[in-house]
C-alpha cells in the first residue's frame, strides 16, 4: 500500500520526526521532510534515505509561524510527486511558561507551532488529501489532558490540537482520516536532570522511557492500517497517562 505514497513530516530532521521519516520510508513511502533551521541534519537524512531508494526524499524549508508560508509549503510538498497522502503535524516548540512570567510572544510561538500551523497546514493539504483519500496525523502529548507544571501555554496549545483532531475528523470525512498520537516520555528535552527523568519513568507502568520508534510505528499503523479509525488519539506513554 505504501508504494508511491507521499508523506509530509513537519520538523522532520531530528528526533521523533526523523525516526518517523525512516519508518515510513522503509515502508515504501516517498517523504517530504520539512525543517526550519536544521538544514544540515535534514540534508544528511535525505542522503541516507535516498541512498536506499533514489529520489525518494525531498526537503522543504519554512517557518511555520508564518501562515503565508504554509500554503506554499504544502504546494511544494505536493508538487514533488504530484500527490500527497499523509500530513504529519510533528513540529513543535516546548518550554516552561510560569504564569507570572509568560509573555504574548511565547503564547504566539507555542500556539503557533502546536495549534495554528497544524490547522492551516491541514486546511491547505485537505484538497490534495481528499484526492488520495489520505490522512492527517497530529503529534499531541499526554499533557494535553493532564497539565504539566509551569507549561500552561504548551498544554493549552496541545489541548487545542487534540480538539482539532476530533473536529477535523468530523469535517474532513469520509475521504480524509484525522488522528493523533500522544507521546509520554520518549525523547528527553535537553535541560532535564536525572532525578526528574527517574521520577517520570517511575510513573510509567512499563518502568522505562519510550523510544522514537514506538511513536513512528504508531504513526505507520495510523497511516497504513487503521482504515476505520478517525478522530482518535492514541497515547504512547507506557501507561503514564493513567498514573494517579
Ligand atoms: N519528545 C518527547 O518525548 C515528546 C513528548 C510528548 C509530545 N511530543 C511531541 O512529539 C512531536 C515531536 O517531538 P520532538 O521532541 O521530536 O520535537 P522537537 O525536537 O522539540 O521539535 C521538532 C522540530 O520542530 C521544528 N520547529 C520548531 N519551531 C518551528 C517553527 N517555527 N517553524 C518550523 N519548524 C519548527 C524544529 O525544526 P528545526 O530543527 O529544523 O528548526 C524541530 O526540530 C512534537 O509535536 C512534540 O510536542 C514529544
Distance between CA atoms of 8 and 226, rounded to whole angstroms? 18
**Catalytic machinery residues:** 154
Q: Which of 9, 10, 16, 140 to mutate to test the pocket of ligand 1 (most atoms within 8 A of CB)?
A: 16
Distance between CA atoms of 134 and 55, rounded to whole angstroms? 22
Nearest alpha-carbon partner for 122 in 171, 159, 156: 171
Q: What is the model's pTM? A: 0.98
152-172 and 104-111 are packed helices; what angle lies between their axes, rounded to 10 degrees? 30
Q: What is the pLDDT of residues 176-197, one digit of tens each?
A: 999 999 999 999 998 899 999 9
Q: What is the pLDDT of residues 133-185, one digit of tens each?
A: 999 999 999 999 999 999 999 999 999 999 999 999 999 999 999 999 999 99
- Cα(92) to ligand 1 centroid in Å equals 4
Residue recorded with cell 522532520: 12
Nearest alpha-carbon partner for 76 in 40, 115, 121, 116: 121
Grid coordinates belonging to 236: 504512547
Give the N- to C-terminal CA distance of the chain in Å, as an integer: 41
- Cα(128) to ligand 1 centroid in Å equals 24
Structural domains of the chain sorted by starting position, each given as residue range(s) with its CATH number in brackets: 6-234 (3.40.50.720)
118 lines ligand 1 (CB under 6 A): no
Amino acid at each position: 500500500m505504501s508504494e508511491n505514497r507521499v508523506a509530509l513530516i513537519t520538523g522532520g530532521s531530528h528526533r521523533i520526526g526523523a525516526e518517523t521519516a525512516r519508518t515510513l520510508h522503509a515502508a515504501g513511502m516517498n517523504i517530504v521532510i520539512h525543517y526550519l533551521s536544521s538544514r544540515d541534519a535534514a540534508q544528511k537524512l535525505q542522503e541516507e534515505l535516498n541512498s536506499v531508494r533514489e529520489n525518494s526524499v525531498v526537503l522543504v524549508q519554512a517557518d511555520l509561524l508564518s501562515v503565508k508560508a504554509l500554503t506554499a509549503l504544502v504546494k511544494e510538498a505536493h508538487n514533488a510527486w504530484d500527490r500527497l497522502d499523509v500530513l504529519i503535524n510533528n513540529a513543535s516548540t516546548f518550554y516552561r511558561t510560569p504564569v507570572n512570567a509568560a509573555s504574548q510572544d511565547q503564547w504566539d510561538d507555542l500556539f503557533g507551532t502546536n495549534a495554528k500551523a497544524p490547522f492551516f497546514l491541514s486546511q491547505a493539504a485537505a484538497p490534495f488529501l481528499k484526492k488520495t483519500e489520505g490522512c492527517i496525523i497530529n503529534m499531541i502529548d499526554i499533557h494535553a489532558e493532564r497539565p504539566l507544571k509551569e507549561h500552561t501555554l504548551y498544554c493549552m496549545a496541545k489541548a487545542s490540537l487534540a480538539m482539532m483532531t476530533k473536529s477535523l475528523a468530523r469535517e474532513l470525512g469520509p475521504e480524509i482520516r484525522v488522528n493523533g498520537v500522544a507521546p509520554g516520555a520518549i525523547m528527553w528535552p535537553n535541560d532535564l536532570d536525572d532525578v526528574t527523568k527517574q521520577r517520570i519513568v517511575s510513573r510509567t507502568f512499563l518502568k522505562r522511557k519510550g523510544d522514537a520508534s514506538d511513536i513512528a510505528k504508531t504513526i505507520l499503523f495510523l497511516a497504513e492500517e487503521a482504515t476505520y479509525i478517525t478522530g482518535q488519539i492514541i497515547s504512547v506513554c507506557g501507561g503514564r497517562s493513567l498514573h494517579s
